Amino acid sequence: MEQISGILNINKGEGLTSHDVVGKLRRILGLRRIGHTGTLDPGATGVLVVCVGQATRIAQYLEAMEKSYVAELVLGTTTTTEDRDGEILQTKPVAVTEKQLEAALSKFRGPIQQLPPMYSAVHHKGRRLYELAREGQVVAREPREVTIHKLELREFQSPVAKIHVECSKGTYIRTLCADLGAELGTGGHMGKLVRTGVGQFSLDDAVSIEAVEIAKNEGKLEKFLIPMGQGLASWPVVQVEEEGARTVANGGKIPGASVGMVRIEDRAGTLLALARCEDGICQPVRVFH
């Protein structure tokens, strides 16, 4: 029963891992071929983009999309995990003004270097960092460049600041909070976290797992399933006629004026393939029909 394909914009509840969400959806839909496109910690809520059926073949492209969040920065307390779930390491008094906080935020906009936290899924010599952290180990990690496209102060009632973040793939918001606390000299950690968007997928349009189950039972699942092509709506489109569609179906190259990754669609708007274009030629890298 692998005919179900598309993208689900799930509003993940608190207390669930991203893997839990996938497991529940596999049970509801009766499918194994389901995967998420960017982990949300159990304490975080909001947008979790889930690929179903053939859509799992575009998961890597969806995962690369920019993310947006609203987070609580709690000043004065540092924790082992850089968030509210960790053990408290240190507390300091907080006498930070809104002006000082704004000045600190300005230093973290644009490309920045971030040290992956020990409690993360980054690999180190074949093991996850969080596995080592649970054993009490701390290992050397290499900083990674991430980009903070937008960082705004929404509200500040000391010691808690609510911040809005738009960032590149791979950004750790809890590390950003810890680094902001260090910059201000008070220390800090992340409180609540809500992912408000992934690319074009918005929290306003996200649906609960329960809503998906009801729709499936009523035979109305299609109202929540987003077509693959629509999931990559920001990509340029190369449209082909019947002959071009046959060429693409066999993995053959076609002419195209765009440069970079494109969607190849037929006249009806059906996604046929993803292709990489260069020098007027598009080479399919994922073929769907």
Q: CA-CA distances (angstroms) from residue 58 to 34, 47, 231?
A: 12, 17, 9
Q: What is the pLDDT of residue 250?
A: 93
Q: CB–CB of 51/35 below 8 Å?
A: yes
Distances (CA, A) of 122 to 71, 90, 139: 22, 25, 12
CB 202 within 8 A of CB 48: no
Residues 85-121 have pLDDT tens digits of: 999 999 999 999 999 999 999 999 999 999 887 676 7
Contact of 144 with 113, CB cutoff 8 Å: yes
- Residue 12's pLDDT is what? 97
pLDDT tier for residue 232 given thresholds of 50, 70 and 90:
very high
E strand or H helix at 46: strand 45-52
Say if residues 30 and 17 touch (Cβ distance below 8 Å). Answer: no
Active site residues: 41
Taking alpha carbons only, the member of 153, 189, 183 closest to residue 80 is 189
- CB-based contacts of 286, cutoff 8 Å, min separation 6: 57, 58, 273, 274
Summary mean pLDDT of the chain: 93
Phi (first) and psi of residue 226, to 5 degrees? -95, 125
Neighbours of 176 (CB within 10 A): 26
pLDDT band at 136 (very low <50, low <70, confident <90, very high): confident
Query: Can you give the pLDDT at residue 140?
Result: 75
Residue 189 contacts residue 233 (beta carbons within 8 Å): no
> Residue 1: what pLDDT?
42
pLDDT score, position 163: 98
**What is the structure's pLDDT at 139?**
74
Q: Count CA atoms closer than 13 A to 161's CA, side-chain side.
A: 28
